[in-house]
Structures are given as C-alpha cells and as structure tokens.
Amino acid sequence: MRGNLLDVKNLKVVFYTYRGVIKALNGVELWMNHGERLGVIGETGCGKSVTSLSIMGLIEQPGEIVEGNVYFEGKSMQKMNSSVLYDMRGKEISMIFQEPVSALNPVMKVGFQIAESIARTKKISIKSAYPDVFKMLELVGLDAGRVINLYPHELSGGMAQRAMIAMALSSHPKLLIADEPTSALDVTIQAQIMKLLDDLVSEMGNAVILITHDMGVAAEFCDKIAVMYAGNVVEYASTTDIFDEPLHPYTKGLLKAVPRVGQSKELVGIPGTVPDLVNPPSGCRFHPRCSHAMKICAEELPPLFEVKQGHYVACHLYTREGEHDGNRSKI
Amino acid sequence: MEIEVKSEMLMKVENLKKYFPISKSYFSHSVHVKAVDDVTFMIPTKSIFAVVGESGSGKTTLARTVLRLIEPTSGKIFYEDEDLTKFNSKQLRSFRKKMQIISQDPYNSLHPRKLVKDIVGEGLKIHFHMSSNAILDKVKETLERVGLREEHMFRYPHEFSGGQRQRIATARALVLKPEFLVLDEPTSALDVSVQAIILKMLKELKKSLELTYLFITHDLAVVDYMADYVAVMYLGQIMEMGTKEDIFNKTAHPYTLLLMNSIPDPDPHVRRGKMIPQGEIPSSVNPPSGCRFHTRCPYAKEICKREEPKLVKISGTHFVKCHFPNPT
C-alpha cells in the first residue's frame, strides 16, 4: 500500500453519452497518507472532478468505473455495500464545492442543514445537534446567532463557503475533498477562505485533497501535487519539486503559462487544445501538444513511475523504452 | 482635474456616473445601484489602460458606458476631441467602427447559427457596404491575422474551442480597422495555457496595428503582463491610478496593497505572513460613508468614516484616493 489513507489504483471511468463513450479517466494513480494535503491541478476536462467523485463513490449512470480500485484505509471502496458507503460519506470523507450557494439547499435554513448533517453522522436528533452547529459556525468566523436562521440566498459567496466548510468539518472527517473551493470567489475573499481552511485543517489534522486550476492556490496550501491531463496523473511529487524541478513537459508548459505579479518574463502558452475524450489520442494523451513527442509516445501510454525519491512522472522521456529514441537528448 | 502626460490622449472620461434604478415608488425616493460613481481618467494613444477590480467594482459597467452601449447617467466621454455623450444614434453608429469591444464569454458572444464568415463580416456589410467577395477576402485576411485559417470561415462557433472562439471575437473586432478596443476580461473563461497564447496575440496585435486598449480584468498578474497604465476600482470609484510602475512598485492605496497580498503566489518558497482585507465587499446600493474602503481597511481612522478623500495627484502620473496614502 503506497498511502495509508487513500490509494487510487489504475482507475478508469467512462461516461456513456449520445456522442459516444467519454473516456474520462484513463488509469489514474493517486495516493496519500493521513493528514497530508494533496493538490490536484489541471485544466478543464482533465478529470479532476471525476477523480474526486470516484473517491466519494458518487459515479452514477451514465458513468461507470470500468477498471481499477479506490482503497480507503486499505479497504476497497468498490467492494463496500451502499449502506457502508452511505455512512462513510460525510463522516470519514466530506466534500466542499465550487459554487457554495448552489451546493446548499435553497429552501432550508443554513442552521438546519448543518444540524441535519451533524445529526446524521453522529446519529443524534436534529434538535440536539444545534449546539454543535453553533460551535462550528463560530469556528469558521460567522455570526452564528444570525446565520443559523438565514437561507442560503441571503449569504454572500464567501459566507456560504464558510458555512459549507462548517458543515464538512463538523464530523471531523479523515479526508476533506475541496473541489475548486474558491474559484467562484473574489481574490480577497479567496485569501480569507484559504487562510481559514489552512487554520482549521492544521488544528484538526484532516487530510485534504484540494482540486484547483490555480497554481498559486496549490503552491500556498499543499504538501504534494498531482498534475492531471486528459484523464491521467502525469506527474506527482512534493510541491517544491513540482515548482522547482518539473519533469513532465505539460507541467513545465503550465508553469510557463501562469502570469505572475512582478515577473516581466514573456508568457509561453501550450499550443493546441485539450483533446476530445470520446476520441482521445493514442498512447500518451499529451503527445499531440508536446514539443518533445517521440514515436513511442503515440503508441504506448507511459506508466507513472518513480524517477527520483518521491517524484513520479508518466512520460517516455524518462522511461527505458524512450531511451532508444533520438529525441531524448532534447529535454 | 488635470492630468499631464506627455503623449496624446485618445480618450478622456470626465466625472462619469452610471446609476441603475432598482426600485421605483411614488412614495419613497428611488433606490440606485451606483455602479460607476464619478470616474475620471484619460487613455493615452497607443497604450494599454487596464482597469482592475473585484466583482461589483463597476469595471464592466465602465467598459460598456465608455462605448455608450449603456447610456451614462452623467459625465462626459471625449474621443479625441469629440464628446460622445452629445452624439445622436446615427452619428454614434458611424463612429462605432473606430471602437470595438471583445467580451468575456466567448461561448455566448458569438451567434450560434451564423457561420464564422458572417459573424466576422457583418460589420463590413453595415459600415462599408462592401460586396460579398470583397468581404470574404477581408475576413480571410483578418482571420489569418489572429491565427485562424481560411477553412475556418465556413464553420459554426460550436465547432471551436474557447481559445479559438476568442480569436474569432478578436477578428470580428479587428476587421473594421478600429483604433480603440475595449477588452472585457477577454481571457477569464480560458485555461491558463490558452490564456497565455491569447494575451500574447493581443499584445502583438496592439503593436502591429497601433491600437489603444481599455483592458478590463480582475487579475493583477494579467495587468502586470499587459498594461502600461492601471486604474484600481472599488465600489464604482477609482482608488488608485497611474503607470504600471506607480501601481506595482510605489503602491500608495491600502486597497491596492491588500489586493496584491491576496493573490496566491505560484512559488512554494514564498510564504508570507500577509495581511489580507477583512470582511465582505459592501453593496454598491448603500456604499459606506466617507472612504468606501474604510470598512475593510486596516489603516482606517476616524476621518475615513466621515470624509470622502479626493483623488489627488502624488506624482506626475500617480493618483490616489486616500487620506493616508503610502501604508507600510
């Protein structure tokens, strides 16, 4: 077992649509230990959200997990029956979403929704859960006495996300999945929310998977980063390794494309676009956009393997098969 | 207010206001959203003037009002020496070919049932009454300019990716040979790898076609990459304005400073014990008294609650609206 909390092995997920079968995940490998903070970064359609839904056991029709397994604390989640999974969600693993206002039920008061989730995980009555609700709302910096009686539409985006965090952390989950928690918020509010999350998680010691497209947010929050592209984890290493010595051409390209304040270098984009996953490219799915692409890249999907201590990459530039290709010297 | 900048000014905006009424009643006076509230600035010819702000700061309303796509409540908009607010709709229409806009969402800004050649060529038909063959030639030339090919003319918008659509929107704006372009968050719907390509293209086009940009964005990093001049807006007002160096290296307004602090840095070695603004963005229906930022400002004093500071000049090109500029 590679990680004592979570181990995702060769996960393949497809969605059956009228356009054809979308091969959303193409053998995702991901693992983490208790209390770690893992950032999953990548662009639109790379499979970040599908990965998190698979971990939650929430892939439903027309989607299907066709291969692979998710192990949570060593137990295969595919083999659990639905009532065990139901108990785990919210208690062991909880989740916060990108659009906090729409993730809350619009016709229930905020306090009631949080009380309901606490009542469910602690198996107590909703009424007796209110003291906990009060405590959690205070903890996330909201005026509990007031917010408890408000409806979600009366909250601003930042307040709603705080309420979501209160709900998600109320059961002290072992794993919190935050799916683009601040993408819909303004930068100043984003800074507040990320600081809050940082403080709370440091205190409670939960493991966090932070899904984001913002390299800055990932750099500031995470211990480790997994870079995803078109349904695969292409690079997985500590945050400092990813930013200081990126190995995969996609990671390198991504880092060169991010504008930064106080840095006058030219931006370099990645030519081409994200592939259509109904007809994904053969072999390495990045090869049509890759400036280092070799013959083997179109033929064979490179596995995610350890190049250096704790630094994993899925790229033929670093495999033995790629060694025989003349292009290799170009890295 | 006098602004002395050596280069020529393409556009001057004076005391521009746009209030949107939100309730009308015979018994109480009407309530307004003060989206743009007394804004004055100038855009030097052939420069990129960036307006940056959070949601609700009025930056998009400003962009549209400057083109008179929304009628201003009061104020003057000079394009070179002509006052756009005095134009009637016919004069305005012929003037519009000089000023074009590229909007934020490339998925909604292109007509889904028109071919690219018609989307891009429509302006030519209206403004220059060209023959359809001449239009096709012109469209082809413009598409090549923005990195698309001839065959793309006969496709529909849904066949393109986000980045390509933003290229089409750019071609539509450029085909009329405008002098002035308003770019309203042109890349905020795009992924970073595509954003980098589009920003670079816009910068190159500006140079080769000698354009002037009004660039609206919420992203200070993009401002740093693109802009020559920057205005920072908050709740309908300009808080700080100046050259890029003024804003980034000699930051004078606490809001600008805290906005910069809020940007997460894509460098894991930079761990700042940074100060970030407190609280939420107030509503622009009932903006705070005095300085509008005082509710979130860590440096706020008594006077900030009572008195609204004026936008004053602190150096040749640098303006700031604060009682206590230059926080440390």
Comparing alpha-carbon positions, the chain A residue that sits nearest to B277 is A188
Asked if A266 lies within 8 A of B224 by C-beta distance, the reply is no
CATH topology of domain A6-82+175-330: Rossmann fold (3.40.50)
Comparing alpha-carbon positions, the chain B residue that sits nearest to A260 is B221
Cβ under 8 Å to B: A residues 26-55: 43-44
Paired with A226 in beta bridges are: A40, A236
Give B-chain residues touching A194 at CB under 8 angstroms. Answer: 264
- Tokens 């933003």 locate to B166
A219 lies within 8 A of chain B by CB:
yes
Best of A182, A239, A248, A261 to substitute, by most chain B Cβ atoms within 10 angstroms, is A261
User: What is the per-residue pLDDT for A141?
Assistant: 92
Say which of A189, A216, A239 has its CB closest to residue B265. Answer: A216
- Spans of all domains in chain A: 6-82+175-330, 93-172
B271 lies within 8 A of chain A by CB:
yes
Q: Are A235 and A227 in contact (CB under 8 A)?
A: yes
Q: Which CATH architecture has domain B9-263+275-321?
A: 3-Layer(aba) Sandwich (3.40)
Q: Are A68 and A231 in contact (CB under 8 A)?
A: no
Cβ under 8 Å to B: A residues 173-192: 186-192
Per this entry, what is the length of chain B?
328
Q: Are A250 and A234 in contact (CB under 8 A)?
A: yes
Comparing alpha-carbon positions, the chain B residue that sits nearest to A216 is B266
User: What is the per-residue pLDDT for A102?
Assistant: 87
Give A-chain residues touching B276 at CB under 8 angstroms. Answer: 188, 191-192, 195
Asked if B195 lies within 8 A of A269 by C-beta distance, the reply is yes
Give B-chain residues touching A266 at CB under 8 angstroms. Answer: 200
Asked if B195 lies within 8 A of A254 by C-beta distance, the reply is no
- Report the gap between the CA of B259 and the closest CA in chain A (Å): 6
Say which of A217, A239, A258 has its CB closest to residue B192. Answer: A258
Q: Cα(B54)–Cα(A185) distance, rounded to whole angstroms?
A: 9
User: What is the per-residue pLDDT for B328?
Assistant: 60
pTM score of the predicted model: 0.90
User: What is the per-residue pLDDT for B292?
Assistant: 93
Q: Are B140 and B153 in contact (CB under 8 A)?
A: yes
Q: Cα(B175)–Cα(B90) distance, rounded to whole angstroms?
A: 21
Asked if A191 lies within 8 A of B192 by C-beta distance, the reply is no
Q: For chain B, 328 residues long, give each residue's pLDDT as a single digit of tens.
A: 445 545 688 999 999 999 998 876 666 677 888 899 999 999 999 999 999 999 889 999 999 999 999 999 999 999 988 899 999 988 998 888 899 999 888 888 999 999 999 999 999 998 888 889 999 999 999 999 898 988 899 999 998 988 899 999 999 999 999 999 999 999 988 889 899 999 999 999 999 999 999 999 999 999 999 999 999 999 999 999 999 999 999 999 999 999 998 888 888 887 666 778 888 888 888 889 999 999 999 999 999 999 999 999 998 899 999 999 987 6
- Report the gap between the CA of A250 and the closest CA in chain B (Å): 10
Q: Are A322 and A328 in contact (CB under 8 A)?
A: yes
Pick from B293, B289, B320, B321: which is nearest to B305 by CA? B289
> What is the signed CA dihedral for A96, A102, A106, A112, rounded to 10 degrees?
10
CB-CB neighbours of A81 under 10 Å = 7
Q: Are A241 and A268 in contact (CB under 8 A)?
A: no
Q: For chain A, 331 residues long, give each residue's pLDDT as a single digit of tens.
A: 688 999 999 999 999 999 899 999 999 999 999 999 999 999 888 999 899 999 988 888 899 999 999 999 999 988 888 899 988 988 999 999 888 888 999 999 999 999 999 999 999 999 999 999 999 999 999 999 999 999 999 999 999 999 999 999 999 999 999 999 998 899 999 999 999 999 999 999 999 999 999 999 999 999 999 999 999 999 999 999 999 999 999 999 999 999 988 877 888 999 888 888 999 999 999 999 999 999 999 999 999 999 999 999 999 999 876 665 555 544 4
Q: What is the bridge-based pairing of β-strands B311-315 and B318-321?
A: antiparallel
Asked if A260 lies within 8 A of B265 by C-beta distance, the reply is yes
User: What is the per-residue pLDDT for B31?
Assistant: 83
Pick from B52, B222, B300, B277: which is nearest to A191 by CA? B277
pLDDT tens digit sequence for A90-148: 899 999 988 888 899 999 999 999 999 999 999 999 999 999 999 999 999 999 999 99
- Spans of all domains in chain B: 9-263+275-321
Contacts 24+ apart (CB under 8 A), B284-292: B284/B33, B284/B34, B284/B35, B284/B37, B284/B56, B284/B58, B284/B235, B284/B236, B285/B22, B285/B31, B285/B32, B285/B33, B285/B34, B287/B34, B287/B37, B287/B235, B287/B236, B291/B321, B291/B322, B291/B323, B292/B234, B292/B235, B292/B236, B292/B237
Asked if B193 lies within 8 A of A156 by C-beta distance, the reply is no
User: What is the per-residue pLDDT for A196?
Assistant: 94
